Structure 1
Amino acid sequence: MPVSPEVQCEQIRLLHQQGPVIQLLGIVTALVCVLIYWPLAPHTQLMFWLGAHMALSLLRLARTARFNRQPPSHPDDLTRSARHYVRETLASGLLWGSFCLFLDSAWPTSYQVILITIYTGIIAGAFNSHASYFTAFAAFYLPPVSMMVFTALQQKQPGYSEMAVLFTVYAILMYLSALRFHKQLAESLETRYDNERLAAELADSNRQLQQLAEKDDLTGIPNRRSLDRCLEQEWKRHCRSRQPLSVLFIDVDYFKQYNDHYGHQAGDQCLIRIAQLLHQHAKRATDLAARFGGEEFAMVLPDTDARNARRIAEEIRHDFAELGLPHAESPILPHVTLSIGIATVIPEHGQTCEHLLLAADEALYAAKRNGRNQVSEATCSLGR
């Protein structure tokens, strides 16, 4: 069953995660086998078999432990590790298969039953530890099954043929169960990764929607919603830090007359130029320039006292005047001008940022009442 690269990598990781336990159990089982059959089997061959098994098991244990400490991240490295694991698993399966060559029909029946029990346990253990990566299961499973059936069929005494048939049926059932488990696990992993991909795509879409929802369509800078969220966050932060927080309200002087005279397209371009200028003056990562609505803009200036807020406001007013956008209908100057209101406070718990916005708005209208094209500073009852 073909699987995605992500699923194959996860199957390889699962294979190695289960490796140390099964390898330690294999060492213990090998020692038990040698102790059980020491009185019956040739000692030299038993010790040679045990030595080969121990050497291979310790090598595999070291490899899997190293893999689990520092799992490869690249798929090619994971695939290479899986190939090493499968080859070593095949070697382990061949060693376990060779143990049944010690079987002798002259052994007491109890010892023959124990050997069959050991082999059924080995197959069951392979199911639990290798079915996640089916190639490894087949590599370990086939040699013991084949050798046991072959050895049983070589015996001349009655009952061995029947035992070989029963063992074959058991082995086939385990094979089919392992194959089914492998497919179900693969499908489960595919579903998991599909869900993770969908969740990531949904989160990305939500982020994009959030950005769109907080961006002004015309000017491309943040909108009123983004301003409110930013100001709320900064208000809470400044309540803790006890540092001054300033807000500027910026309004285009006689913008209606500008729109009527030059047209809405020119008016839109004027607003875009203002937005670009404000964005340039929002120099710190925490500064925010936003379109408040219509021809009104606002700036949030965290950790900024009244003196510095006024300096920034005057720079904005001066830099915009330098652009020299013509305004034939303005009664004050032949180019577009700005009026700016400033409010600065040191936020306190129990108060809200709405008071700061209202103060900046009042300062803006004071600038407009006093002739426009100027900066006016509010006297905030919240303190500075």
Structure 2
Amino acid sequence: MQPDLSTEMDGNTVLSPVLDQRVRREQYRLLSNHLPVVLPGSLLIAVLLAWGFWNTADHTAILVWLSLLVAVITARLGLASYFSRLPERPEADHLLRNTLLLGSFISGCIWGSAGILFFDPENAYGFALLVIVLGGLVAGSLGSHSYYFPNFPLFAIPEFLPLMGGLLVVENDFYTLIGLMMALFLMLNLFYSKKYADMIERSIRLQFANDALLERLKASNRELHEYSYTDSLTGIGNRRQFDLDFDQTWQVAETTEAPVCLILMDVDHFKEYNDTYGHPQGDEVLKSLALVLLNVCEEQKVRGRPMRIGGEEFALLLKGDLDLAIDIAETIRESVKKMKIDRGEEHRVTASFGVARAQPAKGGSRGALLDAADKALYKAKAAGRDRVIADRKSGAGKHG
């Protein structure tokens, strides 16, 4: 189950450090996962930019610039792949964050150096190409670089600043105007990057809060199911669980043509026991009986589970022949007689059993099986109790 990540207080969400850590980890993961898409695209743009300036700029400078960019992109992709295989832990998160930020800054610096290497005030074509490429990179990287806000400024500012500064120092009103417009463009992108990053963070927090709420809802449903289908005193299934298992077992037996046996057990003289020793002691007896039933089922490898279907009445559904069911009932009966209680040997607890068998695939009915087992139980009580009696139309067996 997920830990409780947030609580509601006066309509506001109070966030825990655990949630903050998970949010940051998700932001880093989103940044890292986008690198294999973003970086190859930026490399293609770099190649086109180098080709555009091949005839006007120094070839060595172009090749060095392009080689540095390839090296950085290769390293960033390799590190992203490495971190994706690491287990989640705070140390790895911190190292991934620093790696991502450093990679963005170095990439921004290399791209920014293009504004120094390739800018020529006399080359209007080259100037236009630089502005389009560098401005396009800033705008295009806003989404992919803003999952964690510090990442975008570390790329955009060193990428845009050299060309922008170069324009402002040139004694030309047109270039000065373009430089000021680029500064405004950069500030707008930084503003919207922060807005986008905040929106992403809120979305992640909401997702995690919803996940935590869903886990709590599932846990509550499990508890409700357990409360609805479990006997609160003994911890085994109750009558509702018995009815559900009866339906499911019957449906499977109709398909597989397997016989179904039902064992009903009733504690002998339980009312008198309660009247004599009190209900708390009677409750302890019922708990001990449930434990005996569970132990016998485990030892005998019974493919069924005991249930308490009434005050002192228990039931066990089995798949198999009647003789097997009788043997299991006998084992339970002997175990009940050996059960240790605080009231001494003269007050030992015994139980009576009724066993019946049905063949669902051959027209038997659940009601008839339950009625047959109940009648067999009544016969066991009438015959002196502390015994097992089996009854069915095709034959009956008697033990005790």
Same fold (TM over 0.5): yes
Partner residue of 1:267 out of 275, 278, 282: 282
* Cα deviations by residue, 1:326-384 (Å, 9 ceiling, x for unpaired): 999xxxx9643211011233432876544432332222122223332211112157xxx
* Distance in 1 between residues matched to 2:99 and 2:217, nearest whole Å: 39
Paired residue for 1:105?
Answer: 121
Equivalent residue in structure 2 for 1:293, among 306, 310, 319: 310
1:364 equivalent in structure 2: 377
CA apart distance, 1:324 = 6.9
**What CA deviation, in whole Å up to 9, does each residue of 1:95-114 have, x standing for no partner?**
0000000201011x232122
The 1:113/1:317 distance shift into structure 2, 3 A limit, reads same
Q: Which whole-Å CA distance do the structure 2 matches of 1:350 and 1:76 have between them?
A: 67
Partner of 2:94: 79
CA deviation map 1:18-72 (0-9, x unaligned): 111110111100100011111111111111111111121122233334545x364
Distance, in Å, in 2 between the alignment partners of 1:260 and 1:58 is 84
Q: Following TM superposition, by how much is the alpha carbon of 1:83 offset from its aligned partner in structure 2, in angstroms? A: 1.7
1:342 aligns with 2:355: yes
Aligned match for 2:80, one of 60, 64, 72: 64
| CA contact 1:72–1:78 (8 Å) conserved in 2 | no
1:11 aligned to 24, 27, 43, which one?
Answer: 27
Q: Which one of 147, 167, 177 corresponds to residue 162 of structure 1?
A: 177
TM-score norm. by structure 1 comes to 0.89
Question: Which is worse superposed, 353-362 or 275-284?
Answer: 353-362
Matches within 5 A, 1:260-339: 260-283=275-298, 284=301, 286-301=303-318, 303-323=319-339, 335-339=348-352
Change in 2 beyond 3 A, CA 1:292/1:133: same
1:21 aligned to which of 37, 41, 44: 37
Instruction: Indicate which of 120, 132, 138 corresponds to 1:117.
Output: 132
Aligned partner letter, 2:390: E
Tell me, which stretches of 5 or more residues in structure 1 are unaligned? none
Q: Describe the shift of the 1:154–1:279 C-alpha distance in structure 2 as closer, same or farther (beyond 3 A).
A: same
- Correspondence list, 1:76-225, <5 A: 76-101=91-116, 102-107=118-123, 109-225=124-240
Query: d(CA) in 2 for partners of 1:131 and 1:44?
Result: 34
Per-residue deviation, residues 296-334 of structure 1 (Å, max 9, x unmatched): 111223x33222211111111122222376999xxxx96
**For 2:355, what is the secondary structure of its paired residue?**
strand
Q: Distance in 1 between matches of 2:295 and 2:356?
A: 21
1:227 touches 1:288 (CA, 8 Å); kept in 2?
A: no
Instruction: Give the SS at the match of 2:55.
Output: coil
Q: Residue 220 of structure 2: SS of its match in structure 1?
A: helix
Provide closer, same or farther for how the CA distance between residues 236 and 76 of structure 1 changes in structure 2, counting only shifts above 3 A: farther
Equivalent residues of 2:86, 2:92 under 8 A apart? no
The 3 A distance-change label for structure 1 pair 137 and 351 is farther
> What one-letter code is carried by the residue in structure 2 that aligns with 1:159?
F
Instruction: For 1:33-48, list aligned pairs within 5 A.
Output: 33-48=49-64
CA distance in 2, matches of 1:233, 1:226: 11
Distance 1:88 1:205 in 2: 45
User: Contact 1:222–1:291 (CA<8 Å) still a contact in 2?
Assistant: yes
Contact 1:338–1:374, Cα closer than 8 Å, also in 2:
yes
Distance 1:224 1:335 in 2: 27
Q: What SS does the corresponding residue of 1:323 show, helix, strand or coil? A: coil
Structure 1 pair 323–27 and aligned structure 2 pair: CA distance change class (3 A): closer
Q: CA RMSD in A?
A: 2.6
Question: Structure 2 stretches of 5 or more lacking a match?
Answer: 1-14, 395-400
The alignment partner of 1:106 has SS state of: coil
Segment of structure 1 superposing worse, 9-18 or 59-68 = 59-68
Change (3 A) 1:56 1:360: same
Query: How much has 1:94 moved relative to structure 2?
Result: 0.4
Per-residue deviation, residues 263-298 of structure 1 (Å, max 9, x unmatched): 333332332222222122121474311111111111
Q: Distance in 1 between matches of 2:21 and 2:202?
A: 13
Answer whether contact 1:246 1:300 (CA < 8 A) is retained: yes
Letter matched to residue 65 of structure 2: W
Alignment TM-score, normalising by the size of structure 2 = 0.86
- 8 Å Cα contact 1:282-1:288 kept in structure 2: yes
Tell me: CA distance 1:286–1:138, structure 2 relative to 1, closer, same or farther (3 Å): farther
Structure 2 Cα separation of the partners of residues 111 and 355 of structure 1: 95
The verdict on how the C-alpha distance between 1:255 and 1:136 changes in structure 2, with shifts beyond 3 A counting, is same
Q: How far apart are the structure 1 equivalents of 2:254 and 2:225?
A: 27
| Paired residues, number | 375
Q: Report the AA paired with residue 30 of structure 1.
A: A
- Aligned partner letter, 1:231: F
